[in-house]
Amino acid sequence: MAKIIDGKAIAAETRAKVAVEVKELRGRGVVPGLAVVLVGSDPASRTYVNNKEKACAAAGIHSEKYTLPESTGREELLDRICKLNRKKEVNGILVQFPLPKGLDERAVIETIDPQKDVDAFHPSNVGRILIGDYRFVPCTPAGIMELLRHESISVEGKSCVVVGRSNIVGKPMAMLLMHANGTVTICHSKTRNLTDVCARADILVAAVGKPKFVTADMVKPGAVVIDVGMDRDENGKLCGDVDFSRVEPVASRITPVPGGVGPMTIAMLLKNTVTAAKIQNGIPVQ
């Protein structure tokens, strides 16, 4: 039976540490601030944005929400970002994706000041991650590294397999595991013999977006299994990319969905916002 990694509890600890840091910064006259931009009325995006706002408030971080209509044009959106780039009270800018059809996510990412890019999607931050000289890391992979650290799971020398190569999860995840001295394999939809490749992993990260995709035969006995997926099963119930009930008896540690990786994502957003505030105020970042 695997030990279940309690992402909710670890995220609560991380958020509490962030709140202490925010208090200290406020004592020095620095109030970390996050601006969240939401375009359109996608219900899931709305929920994510509201949760981020609440998390900021709980940690003492100033937050500003900009809700723009579905009809917002490219120039109007980029102009809003430029204004936020200049706004002193705003240390971090997050534009909630996906954007309505017709709006260019790349242009949005490239317009955000890299020093305020708390999602770490800007090419300059992506490049910094690649060369191992980074201050911001996309929140989901950063959260996973925090989970591994918290659970004292060493990455060094381990065989790490990441299934998925998206810019927001798979690729940065692979980079972080490599920087932690793991031997990393990235899999995707064209990978051959996926089951065999996965079954060699000491640490298996599933970021595929397909419900219960990772089955027990893909998992080496005793492996650590990290499930990034946020999917719906045949009954519409939230589940992950891992067939939890069958994989859990094989793995040594496993993250559940919900309550695993998900809660860490917001905690890391708060952490990145504090980092941004420190950088912009010339305060050393540990």
**Which residues in this chain contact ligand NAP in the complex, by CB under 6 A?**
140, 163-166, 168-170, 187-191, 194, 207-210, 228-231, 261-262, 265
Q: CB nearest ligand NAP: which residue? A: 166
The nearest distance, CB 56 to ligand NAP, in angstroms, is 17
Q: Report how far residue 251's alpha carbon sits from residue 197's, in angstroms, rounded to the nearest whole number.
A: 16
* Catalytic one of 96, 171, 220, 241: 96
Q: Report how far residue 155's alpha carbon sits from residue 176's, in angstroms, rounded to the nearest whole number.
A: 10
At which residue do the structure tokens 């840091």 appear? 21
Classify 29 in phi/psi space as left (phi over 0), alpha (psi -120 to 50) or beta: left
What is the side-by-side strand order in the sheet with 253-254?
A: 3-4, 253-254, 224-227, 203-206, 159-163, 183-187
Q: Residue 111: what are its φ and ψ, rounded to 5°?
A: -85, -25
* Catalytic one of 6, 113, 117, 119: 119
The nearest distance, CB 37 to ligand NAP, in angstroms, is 18
Q: Report how far residue 252's alpha carbon sits from residue 165's, in angstroms, rounded to the nearest whole number.
A: 25
The nearest distance, CB 6 to ligand NAP, in angstroms, is 15
* Catalytic one of 6, 52, 171, 212: 52
3-class DSSP state of 235: coil
The nearest distance, CB 268 to ligand NAP, in angstroms, is 9
The answer to whether residue 8 is catalytic is no
Q: How many Cβ atoms from other residues are within 10 Å of residue 111's Cβ? A: 19
- Kindly state the tokens that stand for 9: 């509890």
The answer to whether residue 52 is catalytic is yes
The nearest distance, CB 166 to ligand NAP, in angstroms, is 3
3-class DSSP state of 248: coil
The answer to whether residue 280 is catalytic is no
Q: Report how far residue 150's alpha carbon sits from residue 143's, in angstroms, rounded to the nearest whole number.
A: 10
Nearest to 109 by CA among 120, 100, 75: 120
The nearest distance, CB 79 to ligand NAP, in angstroms, is 27
Angle at 195 (CA atoms; ends 157, 187), nearest 5 degrees = 60
Q: How many Cβ atoms from other residues are within 10 Å of residue 171's Cβ? A: 20
* Residue number with CB closer to ligand NAP (54 or 210): 210
Q: Report how far residue 285's alpha carbon sits from residue 270's, in angstroms, rounded to the nearest whole number.
A: 14
Cα 100 versus chain centre, distance: 21
* Residue number with CB closer to ligand NAP (61 or 208): 208
Catalytic annotation, residues: 52, 96, 119
